[in-house]
Structure 1
Amino acid sequence: MSKRHSAKYKLDRAMGENLWGRAKSPVNKRSYGPGQHGQRRKSKVSDFGLQLKAKQKLKGYYGNITEKQFVRVYAEASRRKGNTSENLIGLLESRLDAVVYRAKFVPTPWAARQFVNHGHVTVNGKKVNIASYRVKPGDVVEVKEKSRNMALVLEAMQSGERDVPDYLEQGDRGFSVRYVRIPELAEVPYPVKMEPNLVVEYYAS
């Protein structure tokens, strides 16, 4: 098992939740935490502990986002008008790698980042290889013609593990999507409950 997969499943175990809703998650078999003390009775978690877990869960869900990048996203969300929690989710879901993952071009957020970095994706017909690129409503994200027969892509598109959300409009036999609108928290198909309000509290405290 690669380090990347190990880290992914380690986060599942640490959180005690199947973050990506994948059939292979170890939480499906053992819901307690990792390590020799994983089965100990859980003590009451402080408010700070709850906030930290909410932050780690949301950040971890999007794959390889660093703490520095995540703080930048939060800072922008807090500067924008409106609800900071909703702004935070909207900004995270506007990342190109997030759109690629939601579109089912690839099976995981990690694969999405790599897929974008390796130049397999275009936005409005132009190649974009920056995972954090912000997709705007109306933009069309597409798998390049020569990349459409990759096993990774075909596996993801045929998978029944998840559906493409309503804020993405599929086209070209599923190889392209139009980013219809910035979603609200309630529209994002997280397999587990996300609490961006606690993330905001974490950074605001």
Structure 2
Amino acid sequence: MPAPSPASAGTTPRRRAGRPTAAVLDQTVITKAAVDLINRKGYEALTMAALAKQLQVAPSALYNHVASKDDVMLLIEDHVADLVDVSAFETEPWDAAVRRWAWSYRDVFSQHTPLIPIIAVMPVANAPKTLAMYEAVTAGFRRAGFPQEQIISAVVALEAFIFGAAFDVNAPEDIYDAGSLAERTPNLNAAVDSLAAQGHKRPTDVAFSLGLEALISGFGALLAGKG
């Protein structure tokens, strides 16, 4: 009687030589791995070698899809921008559209705060989804009659506020507790106690709403003055 083959003996047969039937990597997989790596270890930990290790592939396999770390960062920039809701600029009044965009923007980056110092200063060239976001926003400002020469400045001002607010979402609730020096800060203590007495479950949301509405009102005054 012939001896059983390795397959019939319960061992796994070797894969045939050649390309696998499905791609191991694609840009989506690479982007998610890179975002995870930065969120866990910081931007400095993102190298092509570290990314390949996280993906459990040889660096040469990674270079088949992205040429450099800069290419990876473009993918990340686009990935995050694509999560931000700009749809209201096509369907709602300017102030409502800015409001929805800003809240969405803050919520997205509050989950990716390690990316803020990087993306906040990244050029948008060659990042199609990022460019689509800014095109929607600037088009909305322009349709509303906002002074053309002030549109970019207004967007930058909003982004500066949004990025700071995204960090604030993750701040400790007792960040303004004066501790053993409380007797030196009666006005601060009274303001903190007053906020707590209102029973707000998420004071960061209250702060964001207050600041955002102030910005929208100020920009609205520019629109009114232009008219």
TM-score norm. by structure 2 comes to 0.27
Of Structure 1 and Structure 2, the greater helix share is in: 2
Of Structure 1 and Structure 2, the greater strand share is in: 1
TM-score norm. by structure 1 comes to 0.29
